[in-house]
Structures are given as C-alpha cells and as structure tokens.
Amino acid sequence: MADPLSPRTDLSLPELGYGASSLGNMHRVLPEEQAWGVLEAAWDAGIRYYDTAPHYGLGLSERRLGAFLQTKPRDEYVLSTKAGRLLVPNPGGENELDLDNAFHVPAVTRRQWDFSADGVRRSIDESLERMGLDRIDLVYLHDPERSDDLERNLASGTQALGDLKTEGVIAASGLGSMDPTALALGASSGALDALMVAGRLTLLEQPALADVVPACERTGTSIVTASVFNSGLLSSDDPADNPRYEYGAAPAELIDRASRIAAVCRAHGVPLPAAALQYTPRLPQVRSVVSGSSRAAQIRQNADWMGLPIPTALWADLEAHGLTP
C-alpha cells in the first residue's frame, strides 16, 4: 500500500497515471472509438489513476472518461479533476471551434475563472454530472496564476477545497500548474495534499527543485509530475526527430541538452522516454507520474517503460556530465 499523499489525507496514488487532455480533442479530433480504445489500453496496462479537467475540450474529456469509468468498479481506481475554470454558456459559439485553447470542439461554452467557495463547489458538482460518477477523489486548483489575482484566488480556492474535504465530498486537495511561483505558494500553505507539477520537474529541466520541492518537504505535500516528456522533446530516443517543447518549436539549446541526455541513456541501453518517466519518482516527494497520449500503443509502451529496470549508473553518469543536478 502506497503512503498517503500527506498527513492531512488517507488518499494514496498509483505510481503511473493517465492524463486525459487528449480525450478533449487537444490539437486534433480523437474519434470516439479511438478514445475508448486508449482508455481500454490504459486499464489493461494496469493504470488505475486517471486525471482530467473541465478545461480539456470544454468538458469533453470528463464526459468520455466518466463514460468509460462507469464500466469499472469504483473502488479500483483513483480519479482527479480540476477546479477554477467554470464552463458557462457562449451564445453563438456553436459555429466556432475552441482552437485558441488548442481543443477541436465547438465553443458552445466558455471558461470563466472562479476560485470562490461557491465556484469551486459548483465546478465539482458539474464535473460529477458530466462524468456520471458519485465521487471525485482529488481536486486540483487549475492554473490560478493565469487568473486575475494569484494569491487571492489560491487562498480562496484552497479554503474551499479544505471545506469540501471536511465535509467528505473529496478525499484530497491539490494545485495543478506549470508556474513554480504558484506551486511554491500552494505547498507553503501547508493546506494542500498534492501538487501536480507540469513540465517543471523533468529529466530535461528542474526549476521546481529550487523552491517547490523544499516547500513540499517542509509541509508534507506530495508531488505528481506531468508533462515529463516536455511536450514531446523526450518522447523518442532522438530528440531532434520530434523537437517540440511547450507545444511549440523547441529552442536549439534544449534540443542539444536533450540530445546529450539521450546519448548517455543510449550508452546504458535505456530508452530516453523510460528514463524520463522514471527520473522524477526518485525524489521521495513524487508519488505519481501522469502521462497522456491519444494512441493506445503509446499507453502500453509507457506502462512498459515505467517498469523497465534502469541501472543506477545511468543516473550517476547524467550527474557527472552536468545534465541533472
């Protein structure tokens, strides 16, 4: 049995989770049959932690994930979603796609920031309705640094999640972000159980080591790492073949760094993506790695890579070459 996420909850997480942004038609349309096949592949590979958000495809990801999980025993998986962006009507949006947010879905609703107690509660109620499930285990505040007032919204959202925990509506609370400042603030409060650190604690770069990880250590807050392939740069053995970073073109210096990391992995006979998946769980604060894909074969491959034995000498060589701290 894995350890609880914090002294403030009994919830624990499996080592590998599936991030369901692709189910919201992120970057491309994912047909229903393919979406279901991806989820079947994840379940068959033993993945029992699933993360989604209202933001992903204006609720499409939640609807698809919920429909799938309704076919599975509720006590056999852990489910997380996010709060902070309410979906409200967007008259006329049915003739447009949500491409400004990278989702190929009709813009029949729009996102509205709301980290108030009422807003967070409403968000969770609406997520439950979209998914058709009776409970959500873990709720992350979603990107409060992108709203109008980080500190105020983080404080109100954290209090709202704490109240919902006390009421037994959710089992654990968290914060999901790419911003180290927001993440460090969230951890320092000592009121959250977990941070989802997206792209800021990876084999390629580790800005979260400066303030976020120490704050988690002080407050007993766990970390879930996401985007550990840095949006594609670490997803194959040759980073130059897929030079994407932050969903855009990768800077030359990062391609060079990733290529040097790949060369060390190659010398030890380890696929670069396997090292990327297994790098962060070496930190005691990291309890789970969430990885997403729109391809069933990739989901199965990720699960295999997560279980691949990696020699300790690989990590030592990366440090010796100045490629990791």
Of 49, 56, 245, 279, the active-site residue reads 56
Return the exposure string of 269-289: e unless at least 16 CB atoms fall within 10 Å of the residue's CB, then b: ebbbbbbbbbbbbebebbbbb
Check if 56 is active-site: yes
78 Cβ contact partners less than 8 Å away, ≥ 6 residues apart: 11, 13, 14, 17, 48, 49, 50, 137, 138
Helix (H) or strand (E) holding 126: helix 117-131
Q: Work out whether the CA dihedral 138, 144, 150, 152 comes out positive or negative.
A: negative
Distance (Å, whole) CA 15 – CA 49: 8
DSSP 231-272: GGTTSSS-GGGS-EETTEEPPHHHHHHHHHHHHHHHHTT--H
DSSP three-state, residue 19: strand
Which sequence positions are flagged as catalytic? Answer: 56
